[in-house]
A and B are shown apart, each in its own frame.
Chain A
Amino acid sequence: MAKLPPKPIPLHSTAGVADGHLDTHKAQAKGLMRWLLTTNHKEIGTLYLLFSLCMFFVGGIFALVVRAELFQPGLQLVEPEFFNQMTTMHGLIMVFAAVMPAFTGLANWMIPLQIGAPDMALPRLNNFSFWLLPVAFTLLLSTLLMPGGAPNFGWTFYAPLSTTYAPPSTTFFILALHIAGISSILGAINIIATILNMRAPGMRLMDMPLFVWTWLITAFLLIAVMPVLAGVITMMLMDINFGTSFFNAAGGGDPVLFQHLFWFFGHPEVYIMILPAFGIVSAIIPTFARKPLFGYASMVYATAAIALLSFLVWAHHMFVVGLPLVAELFFMYSTMLIAVPTGVKVFNWVTTLFRGSISFESPMLFALAFVVLFTIGGFSGLMLAIAPADFQYHDTYFVVAHFHYVLVPGALFAIMAGVYYWLPKWTGHYPNERLGQWHFWLSVIGVNLTFFPMHFAGLAGMPRRIPDYALQFADFNMVSSIGAFFFGISQLLFVIVVIICVRGGKKAPAKAWEGAEDLEWSVPSPAPLHTFETPPRFERSS
């Protein structure tokens, strides 16, 4: 972050002007304090993205510990207890500290620019919700050093594993998750307030770019389900420390209730991690196909439909807990129903590409890989949705393959596509195209090498969350582990691309990509610290 644009003096007609100097509200903080106190949406967006990048590598190292242990059957490197801590922390860090903050960071940077607002609606709250995150995850990571070790019950923290049989550090885990949850909720409130009230005059809801739309719906999902997560972990806290029995059968509670409550949060949560990705891809594909997005309205309605359906499918994670037949059928069909709006989206992206003048710059490559590989993840999801078949797949590596396909080449590739797409706007320079292409191809090979063999291992019956496995899975696991290290190391290239791009490179004009149409491309590159102080005139393109 060496070369940041100096803060320009805001041109307000305030009292300060009269005494001959411009009022800058308050003394401009320098150095570290500038970042600690900033209320600027662009700076906070940058903070979110940098935090997410760091956590991506922390979570990645945990994953590599897991993959290193699984390179061969037998126990070689770590104790099983530590292995369990690694799988748990990998999941928690990637979900709550890498993917979610990355999307919030992109939202902070891009939503005000895309709707023509000067900043987020609640800038100070914005600062607070970011700075909660380092606190939360320092706390969470510190559990690794505590007696009894870090949480070891999987990222889904099923009771009674996470209550009766949990390590003493669980209380810290609960606190960390509470803080991270508050951060997400405050972020969501801010985003809703910004989108609903701060749009440029003349911009109707149905004129908003899809990234804004998907984030609006995501923010509603966050407000609806993060409090449920907060409720669940509060109940856990009380079961552990205050002798209640929410999830303890001895006291009249029910451990299955935990799973219902958790997945009532957990399923919308997976859409929280993918809807903004849909928005990013819906911005990039039309740009590089040089055609307007096919079926804009149907994209909006499909997103809303996915969000609504996400509340009705939670028990498909629980097909084997002993649900009655009616419930198995209901959750099976409602889950399959989600494939319809998702199919609409994939159809629209493909149709946008049809007869477009396509060019294949790095953002487009990542977006196209997203469409293909996310669809593979979607199909394995459909396979898992079949309740009778799920009895075979449940808790196997097939599930691991499925959700990594939707999260890594899904959410993560979309984030990377977004970063490559908007870097010219953030830094004023194009990312190095040759390195970007290398990063893309290495990532695609790495992802598939890592996760594709997991399908086969899972179908053959390899259970997830185990440090050792039967000999017949050895080859698949060796390929996966090689792929994981390959993928992990190739992400260092991404850091190099970003650093080079911040320091210099080919200068980008305001409209950095030929086919880009949204409002953010009307401000100069790099975007000055303060934009749209006077609202732009929004002109409808159609």
Chain B
Amino acid sequence: MVTHRHAQRIAVKRTVIRSVAALIGMFAFAFALVPLYDVFCQVTGLNGKVSNSAQQIAHQSVDEDRYVTVQFITRGSAGLPWQMSVANHQLRVNPGEISEINFTFMNHSDKESLGRAVPSVSPSEASQYLRKINCFCFDEQKLNANQKLMLPLVFQVVRELPKDINTITLVYTLYPVNGKEISLVHGSRDKKGDTI
């Protein structure tokens, strides 16, 4: 009887240790899901997040027979007294073609501030096929009091874009940037020492 109780106690201890290990593992897994999710989305382009760095031009001939509408939406943000506008709300482009469009940033306050336009593509499957050769969204912007700044976006919709996608919407949302967190400011130098 005593040995039975003793054996039972050891078995209980073993079960508890295993459950606690599983528990800690699952807690860590929840946090591991954050980078995993980012990697997964980057590989598949599923959450509409677009590459945050300049991409190469895909050298391919322009598909004259197909037109894709690229729409631009700009949104402000609480906490940043900026306005962002776009020269044209939509462009009709041929896949393979390289296009340029200008965006205007306007600081409405009497103080200089830092902000960033974060892009998102819809439908999300299209995000892989919209290549940005040059974009203000790669960096933070600094606007002086009441300054107006015009910046270009150079992009290409590659020919591999699935046939069922005829319209791509690119949304820019402005977010304030905390001065301390600045890594790259427009006009400063990046890691390689090139002027941005």
Chain B, residues 119-145, CB within 8 Å of chain A (1/0): the string is: 010111100000000000000000000
Report if A146 contacts B (CB, 8 A). no
Give A249 to B49 CA distance when docked, in angstroms.
10
The smallest C-beta distance from A306 to any residue of chain B, in angstroms, reads 19
Q: Pick from B11-19, B53-61, B91-99, B103-111 the stretch touching chain A.
A: B11-19
Nearest B residue to A229 by beta-carbon distance?
A: B30
Per the bound structure, the CA–CA distance linking A246 and B118 in Å amounts to 15
Q: Among the listed stretches B20-28, B82-90, B150-158, B188-196, which one makes contact with chain A, having 4 or more residues with CB under 8 Å of it?
A: B20-28
Instruction: Check: B167 CB closer than 8 A to any chain A CB.
Output: no
- Which positions 109-161 of chain A face chain B at CB distance < 8 Å? 121-122
Residues on the B chain within 8 Å of A324, using CB: 44, 46, 124-125
Give Cα A198–Cα B46 distance, bound, in whole angstroms.
48
- A65 at interface, CB cutoff 8 A: no
Find chain B residues with CB under 8 A from A98 CB. none
Known: A227-B23, A324-B46. A121 touches B12 (CB 8 A): yes
**Scoring B residues 29 to 58 as 1 if CB is less than 8 Å from chain A, else 0, what string do you get?**
111011001100100101111000000000
Taking CB atoms, residues of chain A closer than 8 Å to B47 are: 254, 256-257
Within 8 A of B (CB), among A324-378: 324, 327
**Cα–Cα distance between A223 and B23 once the two chains are bound (Å):** 6
Report yes or no: A322 in contact with B124, Cβ–Cβ below 8 A. Answer: yes
* Residue among B11, B20, B26 having the largest count of chain A Cβ atoms under 10 Å: B26
Whether the pair B11, A196 counts as a contact (CB closer than 8 A) is: yes
> A228 interface residue, CB < 8 Å from B?
yes
* B26:A189 contact, CB within 8 angstroms: no
Interface size class of B (residues with CB under 8 A): 35 or more
Q: Is A231 an interface residue (CB 8 A)?
A: yes
Q: Are A197 and B12 in contact (CB under 8 A)?
A: yes
Q: For residue A256, which residues in chain B have a CB less than 8 angstroms away from its CB?
A: 47
Task: Confirm or deny: B74 has a beta carbon within 8 angstroms of a beta carbon on chain A.
Answer: no
User: Nearest chain A CB to B56's CB is how many angstroms away?
Assistant: 23
Q: Is the beta-carbon distance between B19 and A254 smaller than 8 angstroms?
A: no
How many chain A residues have a CB neighbour from B under 8 Å? 33
Query: What residues on B are CB-neighbors of A327 within 8 Å?
Result: 46
A224 to B25, CA, bound (A): 9
Asked if residues B15 and A192 are in contact (CB atoms below 8 Å), the reply is yes
Contacts of B113 in A (CB 8 A): none
Q: How far is the CA of A257 from the CA of B36 in the complex (A)?
A: 11
Contact B125 A198 (CB under 8 A): no
Contacts of B76 in A (CB 8 A): none
Q: Please tell me if B8 contacts chain A, counting CB pairs below 8 Å.
A: yes
Decide if B22 touches A224 in the complex (CB within 8 Å): yes
**A121 surroundings in chain B (CB, below 8 A):** 12, 15-16
Q: Looking at the assembled complex, report how far the CB atom of B11 sits from the nearest CB atom of chain A, in whole angstroms.
A: 4
The residue on A at minimum CB distance from B33 is A261
Complex Cα–Cα for A197 and B125 (A) = 51
Query: Would you call A193 and B27 a contact (CB within 8 A)?
Result: no
Give the contacting residue for A322; candidates B8, B38, B122, B173; CB below 8 A: B122
Q: List 22 A-B contacts (CB under 8 A).
A: A185-B23, A189-B23, A192-B15, A196-B15, A197-B12, A197-B15, A227-B29, A227-B30, A228-B30, A230-B27, A231-B29, A231-B30, A235-B34, A249-B118, A250-B176, A251-B175, A257-B33, A260-B33, A260-B37, A322-B122, A322-B123, A323-B46
> Top 4 nearest A-B pairs by Cβ distance?
A231-B30, A250-B175, A227-B27, A227-B26
Other 15 A-B pairs with CB < 8 A, given A227-B29, A231-B27: A121-B12, A122-B12, A188-B19, A189-B19, A192-B15, A193-B12, A230-B27, A231-B31, A249-B173, A254-B47, A254-B49, A261-B30, A261-B33, A264-B33, A322-B123
